Structure 1
C-alpha cells in the first residue's frame, strides 16, 4: 500500500471549526503527529489503533526537532502509512508546512494539504473584530512576531506605513518591541490595538488599548501566549460586535459521539465543548442458544440486541425465533432504542421479570459484573489513554449514558478525581445518576432528562454563580 502524508490545519482551537475534509483525514489516519496548540478533542476522531506522536513545541523549546519531524513523516509514509501532520491554524501560515512539503517532495512522498482556518482571521472574528471593514480597513497584513532565522529585523519602515489592519502572530514575547517599532516609524501612538488570547476557546480573553498603553494593559491583566496582536482602527468594532451568548465562556466536557445533538446545542449558546474518547465496539463470537428453553429476553442495551440480530441472520435465523419470548428492556432508554429497531418491549424493569427461563443479553464486561450473567453479544474495548485535561478547567461534565460514565472513569487519574469536586456533574436520567454513584461519586449530581433540560439547568447554574 502506498503511504500518504496530509499536512492538516486544525483551525484556531474550537473543534467544530475543523474542516470536513480534515475530519475525514483524521478518521483515516494510521499515524498522527500533532502540535502543542491543537485541541486534544480532535484526537477523539482518530482510530483507536492509530499511533499518536506528540511533537509539540514550546517557545524557545522544541520537544522534537523539525528535522526529526520531517524524517518521521517520510519514514511512516514509505512504510505505507496514512500519516497526518496535525497543526494549529493553517499549515501554510507560519506553520512550517511549506518546509515539510518541500522535504516530502524531495523524498518522493505523496502528500496533500488540508487548509485550516487561521487564527489571524478567525481569532479576530471571535471577539467581534472584522479584519476588514469598508469604513476602517481595505487590506490586512499578517506578520510573524519572531525575528528571521538569520537575526535580521522585520522591515518596520514598510510595516508601519501599510494601510489597513496589522495582525501579528507569535508576537507576545516581542510585544514591547512591536509597539515601539511601529511608533518610532510613524504610527500614531493612539492607534487602537487588541490582544486576543486563546481565540475561540473557553478561556478566550480580550484586552484593548493603544500602541502607547497596550503593553502595560496586557501585563496588568496577565495576558500571555498564545495570543494574536491586532493593530488598526477595526479594533474599535469589538465593543459593538463582540458576541454575547448565554453560555459564553462556559467549558463543558462530553463523551465523543458521532451524531451528537447535545454538542451543537451547547455550541449554539456559546459554550466551548471538548470531548473524551469512548470505548470501541468489538464483535465477539456468539453461540446462539436453543430459544425454546427460554420464556424471557432481558435486554440490557439496544446495541446488544442489534448485534444479536446480526448474528442470528448470519446463522440463518431472524426475529421470528423470538416471537414467544417476553421482551423486557432494562430501562426506558433501552426501550426507545428497541422501538427504533421495530420491537416494542413488554416490560421496562431493571431486573428480569421471570424467575426461571430468562436470558439476559448485553455487553461482555457489563454482564460479567452483574449477578444475572447471560449472553454477551459484543465487547467494549477501552481506549488506553488518560483524559488530557485538568478537570478544574471545566464548569460542567455531562453524562448522556451509563456507558459514558464507565468510559470517563477509565481515563481519570487520582488528581483529576479530586478536581471533579469543582465541576457541575449533569446526568441525563436516573440510571446515569445511579452509574455515577456506583462509580463512587458522592457530590451533588444534577439530573436532566432532555437536551433542553440540560441547557436550562446549565444556564441556571452559570447565572447563579
Structure 2
C-alpha cells in the first residue's frame, strides 16, 4: 500500500446484476464508495446504492460495441486509489470468472495499491438454477464445466464433448459453431439445450431445444448476455422449476417512494415476480419546521394526535426528539393511526395507538371514532401539500378543532428512470401498482412528459394491468388512467399482493 495514500480498491462481484442477488459485503461497500467504476451489465438499481456524491464511471466492455480499453480501466483504478479514494470496481458476475480481474490486480500491485476481492454469484451458476436446471444430478450429471464461447476455436471440443453438462458464457454469437463441434465430436444431436438470456433480469427469457434445432429456434434473436446449458439435466427443468409460484413470469412495476419500495418488492418477489422499482415520490423535510415546533411546544393542549402515514410517524417523532423532548410529553395524548404500516412504525417507536379504524382507511376513522369530537383539539401532522383534505373536513364537521402541521414534503421526481420508460415502451411490464393517489398523479405526469403533446399517458398502458391498494387510489386511477383492473380487499401492501396473486391465477 502506498505510504502517501489510504486509498483502497475493492473488486466486487455484482452477481447477476439483480440487486436481490448482491452479497451483503458488496452492498456495504457500495454504500461507502467514493469512486464507482462499473461494468456494462450492472443493473441500475445497484448504482442507486452508492452515496449521492460518489463519482460513477461506466467502464463496460460489450461485444460489437464501443468499449473502455482494459488499460484505461487499470489506469483509473490506480489513479483514484493513489488519491486516497475508496474505489469500488463493480464487475459482472464473479471477478475471477472471465472478469479479467487478474490484469487489474497486476496493475494495482505494480503501483503498490491496496485492494480486496469480493466474490459474486456468477450467471454460470445462477442462470441454470433460475431456469430450474440442476448442473449436477446423481444419475444424469456427475460433473460440469464452465467455459467461454467467445473463441471456440481455442477449445478442446473432443474433451468437452465427454463432459456431462456444459455451461457456456459469451456463446451467443458462436452458437452454431459450438453445436457443430459437439455433434462432430460425438454428442447426440438430441442432447437437450437451454439458453437463459438476461439471467435474473425483468426481461429474462429461456429458449429450449436440442443440438439439432436450437440454432434455428433462436435465429434472429439477440443472445447476449446469455448462458447456454447443454446436457441431459436440462430435461429436469420441469421437475425443479419454480414455475408454481403464482407470479412467475410476471413483471411488476412498483411506484412508491424509493425508501419505501423494498418491503413491497420483497412481498412480490417471494411470489416469483420480477419487480421494477420506480420512485414516484421524493420524501423530504417540510419547507419550514415552524408550525410543527410550535405544536410540539404546546403539545399538552391537544387531546388527539392523528397519524396517517409511516412518513408522518417518523418525521414527527424525529423532530420531537431533536427538540430535546421525549415520548413522555405525549402521555396524556391519545393517538389514532390510519393504516397497518403506520401502526407498525408507531409500535417500533415504542408507542401504542389508542385507535386504529377498521379496514385501515381514513374514510372509516371519523365514522368509527371512539369518542365525540366536539370541542376536541386534534393535532394532525401531515404531508405539506395535497393530502387528506377530506379527513380534515370530516373531523371539523364533527366539531373537532384540527391543527394541521406540515411534517414532510412528498414531491414528484424530476424525471422518469430511462430503464422504466424503455420497459414500458417495449411492453415488458405486466402490472403497475399504486399505493396512494399521489403515486398515480406523479406517475401520470412523469409519463406525460415523455410522450408527444397529442398522446395520452394511458395509451402506453394498453397491455398493462393497473393494481390499486384501495378505493381512494382506485378513484384517482380511473380519473387519470381510465380504469383499475385489480383492487386490494384489505388495503395494505400484503392485501395488494394477495389481490395481484388472485388476479394472476
For the aligned pair, the TM-score class normalised by the smaller chain equals 0.7 to 0.9
Match of 1:361 among 375, 381, 394: 381
When residues 29 and 373 of structure 1 are mapped into structure 2, their CA distance, relative to the original with a 3 A threshold, is farther
Match of 1:395 among 430, 452, 473: 430
Distance 1:236 1:43 in 2: 37
8 Å contact 1:156–1:185 — kept in the other structure? no
Taking the TM superposition and a 5 Å limit, the aligned residue runs for 1:184-263 are: 184-219=184-219, 222=221, 224-245=223-244, 246-254=246-254, 255=256, 256-257=258-259, 260-263=262-265
When residues 402 and 87 of structure 1 are mapped into structure 2, their CA distance, relative to the original with a 3 A threshold, is farther
5+ residue gaps, structure 1: none
Match of 1:447 among 487, 491, 494: 487
1:34 aligns with 2:69: no
Distance 2:208 2:314 in 1: 56
8 Å contact 1:144–1:170 — kept in the other structure? yes
1:428 aligns with 2:469: yes
Taking the TM superposition and a 5 Å limit, the aligned residue runs for 1:29-178 are: 29-147=33-151, 153-178=153-178
Distance 1:385 1:65 in 2: 32
CA RMSD in angstroms, aligned pairs only: 3.9
Distance 1:329 1:269 in 2: 29
Tell me how far 1:154 sits from its aligned partner: 1.1
Tell me how far 1:458 sits from its aligned partner: 1.8
Q: What do residues 368-396 of structure 1 show as CA deviations (whole Å, max 9, x unaligned)?
A: x9999954444568765632222231111
When residues 281 and 7 of structure 1 are mapped into structure 2, their CA distance, relative to the original with a 3 A threshold, is farther
The SS at the match of 1:248 is: coil
Distance 2:437 2:6 in 1: 42
Tell me how far 1:282 sits from its aligned partner: 5.0
Comparing 117-126 with 93-102, which one deviates more in the overlay?
93-102
8 Å contact 2:202–2:276 — kept in the other structure? no
Q: What do residues 312-355 of structure 1 show as CA deviations (whole Å, max 9, x unaligned)?
A: 34434344555666766577764664465425366976799789
Match of 1:266 among 265, 268, 273: 268
8 Å contact 1:399–1:426 — kept in the other structure? yes
The SS at the match of 2:194 is: strand
8 Å contact 1:41–1:276 — kept in the other structure? no
Comparing 182-191 with 131-140, which one deviates more in the overlay?
182-191
Distance 2:263 2:339 in 1: 21
Tell me how far 1:125 sits from its aligned partner: 1.7
TM-score (norm 1): 0.81
8 Å contact 2:16–2:199 — kept in the other structure? yes
The SS at the match of 1:236 is: helix
8 Å contact 1:34–1:56 — kept in the other structure? yes
Distance 2:374 2:80 in 1: 57
Distance 1:303 1:213 in 2: 56
8 Å contact 1:284–1:377 — kept in the other structure? no
The SS at the match of 1:16 is: helix
Comparing 9-18 with 402-411, which one deviates more in the overlay?
402-411
8 Å contact 1:70–1:100 — kept in the other structure? yes
Distance 1:401 1:58 in 2: 40
Match of 1:414 among 445, 450, 454: 450
8 Å contact 1:9–1:89 — kept in the other structure? yes
Taking the TM superposition and a 5 Å limit, the aligned residue runs for 1:317-328 are: 317-319=325-327, 321=329
Tell me how far 1:59 sits from its aligned partner: 2.1
8 Å contact 1:193–1:231 — kept in the other structure? yes
8 Å contact 2:135–2:233 — kept in the other structure? yes
8 Å contact 2:13–2:94 — kept in the other structure? yes
8 Å contact 2:435–2:468 — kept in the other structure? yes
Q: In the alignment, which residue of structure 1 is the partner of 2:29?
A: 25
TM-score (norm 2): 0.76
When residues 204 and 293 of structure 1 are mapped into structure 2, their CA distance, relative to the original with a 3 A threshold, is closer
Comparing 57-66 with 16-25, which one deviates more in the overlay?
57-66
Distance 2:84 2:264 in 1: 38
Match of 2:318 among 301, 304, 310: 310
1:344 aligns with 2:333: no
When residues 3 and 380 of structure 1 are mapped into structure 2, their CA distance, relative to the original with a 3 A threshold, is farther
When residues 31 and 436 of structure 1 are mapped into structure 2, their CA distance, relative to the original with a 3 A threshold, is farther
Distance 1:424 1:243 in 2: 23
When residues 202 and 327 of structure 1 are mapped into structure 2, their CA distance, relative to the original with a 3 A threshold, is closer
5+ residue gaps, structure 2: 367-372, 393-401
Q: In the alignment, which residue of structure 1 is the partner of 2:179?
A: 179
